[in-house]
Amino acid sequence: MDVEELADLSRVLIDRLVTTEAPPGVLEEVAGLVRQATALLEQHVPDGPRNLYERFGDTDDYLDLFRLNPVIGKLNPVAPRFEIEVSRDGPGWNGTEVTARTNLGLLYEGPMGMVHGGIIASLFDQFLSIANIDNGFGAFTGTLTVRYRNPCPLGVDLRFQCRTDRVQGRKVFAVGELYAAETLVAEGEGVFIQPSSERLAAIVADSEAAQGPPGRQR
């Protein structure tokens, strides 16, 4: 058993939690098991400041790079599972296009039987960013525009196709589409801002200062 397997088991647990009609006695039994599991993990939580980017290594696997990310992290059970591939002969900057595939269930429902629009927006933000990163443009989201063309049904194979479109100074423009099977359900466009080296250093310093002195974080 490793953390990735445990995260997948937790995804199943969360799915059952939002769909169950179990009686109070069963819920109490489950609560006891969750408390027990939490206490076991509690013993192995490290001291000192923590963040989702610690212990990162060099990798070209974005699902590994962002493994704790709340949107696509394979070790984060609130995130759906994805398959990601990068093509080098697509229509984007330098021919790069990021394709991400998933299938979203009831946990991500907004309107009845449909994926929540906010989930779609957050996923566009992530995959447009990955397209930029793959082209060497590390940048922060400035604006994000999503055009919803059709309802996005639950339980259908989904496909994001995202790419860097152009660069103007420190602004990086990225575009993408979301398909449910072969139906276009949404289009995304983002303007991302590359920070100066001074600004990036200040952001990192502020983040480290905000975490406070070493100690167990809760």
Q: Does the pLDDT value for residue 192 go beyond 70?
A: yes
Q: What is the pLDDT of residues 52-64, one digit of tens each?
A: 666 665 677 899 8
Give the pLDDT score at 60: 74
Nearest to 60 by CA among 78, 85, 91, 29: 85
The pLDDT tens digits for 33-44 are 999 999 999 998
Return d(Cα 215, Cα 162) in angstroms, integer: 40
DSSP 95: G
Poorest-pLDDT segment among 16-20, 86-90, 200-204: 200-204
Q: What is the pLDDT of residues 128-140, one digit of tens each?
A: 999 999 999 989 9
What is the share, in percent, of the chain residues with pLDDT greater than 90? Answer: 74
Neighbouring C-alpha atoms within 13 Å toward the C-beta of 214: 3
Higher model confidence: residue 115 or residue 65?
Answer: 115
Are 96 and 134 a contacting pair, CB within 8 Å? yes
Could you list the beta-strand ranges (E) of the chain. 83-87, 97-103, 140-148, 157-168, 171-180, 183-193
**The model's pTM:** 0.87
Closest alpha carbon to 114 in 169, 62, 151, 73: 151
Residue 168: burial class (beta carbons within 10 Å; 0-12, 13-18, 19+): exposed
Q: What pLDDT, on a 0 to 100 scale, did the predictor assign at position 53? A: 62
- For the record, the structure tokens of 127 come out as 């995959």
The number of CA neighbours under 13 Å toward the Cβ of 184 is 10
- 162 pairs with which residues across the strands? 98, 176
Instruction: Confirm if 178 and 202 have CB atoms less than 8 A apart.
Output: no
Q: Summarize pLDDT for 71-116 with one digit per residue, the tens.
A: 999 999 999 999 999 998 878 888 899 999 999 999 999 999 999 9
For residue 209, what pLDDT is reported? 65
Burial class (CB in 10 A: 0-12, 13-18, 19+), 193: middle
State the amino acid at position 8 in one-letter form: D
